[in-house]
Amino acid sequence: MKIVDANVLLYAVNTSSEHHTSSLRWLDGALSGADRVGFAWVPLLAFVRLVTKHGLFPRPMSPEDAIGQVADWLTAPSAVLVNPTARHADLMARMLAQVGTGGNLVNDAHLAALAVEHRASIVSYDSDFGRFDGMRWDRPSALL
């Protein structure tokens, strides 16, 4: 399984991004493929928050359209919603201790812990995932 980070979702809908084509091609292909595509609520909520924010995108999405996009992803045949297991807090704490900080890495540590728990990898353009031992990550462009 591959768990999708928020930046891939944002790039997939942002036609002006340099990563738009690779993100959209990977996401569309993965969602119609045989392998599972994992979605977690933290990146999905980040997507809704950011694509509806005025001033961030030239034409922000309406909340209804953003939530509709999330619903479309979640109802794709290969989509699964991934949730923390009983060991999540311990894994996340160890990952944050390993990198020696929290702050902007808290959400990344959450996704990294989910990946370890579910024997998955992360798909992201965020190179900070390379700082966490014991999990794998790939850029969408590397998976095409």
The answer to whether the annotation marks 35 as part of a ligand binding site is no
Count CB neighbours of 37 within 10 A: 25
Model confidence at 113, in pLDDT bands (50, 70, 90)? very high
Structure token pair of residue 51: 């694509």
Sheet holding 2-4, edge to edge: 79-81, 37-39, 2-4, 121-123, 136-138
CATH of domain 2-143: 3.40.50.1010
Q: Whole-angstrom Cα distance, residue 115 to residue 108?
A: 10
The answer to whether the annotation marks 72 as part of a ligand binding site is no
In sequence order, the β-bridge partners of residue 122 are 3, 137
**End-to-end CA distance of the chain, in Å?**
16
pLDDT of 29: 98
The model's pTM: 0.96
In sequence order, the β-bridge partners of residue 4 are 123
Q: Whole-angstrom Cα distance, residue 62 to residue 6?
A: 18
pLDDT per residue as tens digits for the range 91-109: 999 999 999 999 999 999 9
Rg of the chain (C-alpha set): 15
CB 112 within 8 A of CB 122: yes
CB 19 within 8 A of CB 11: yes
Domain ranges of the chain: 2-143
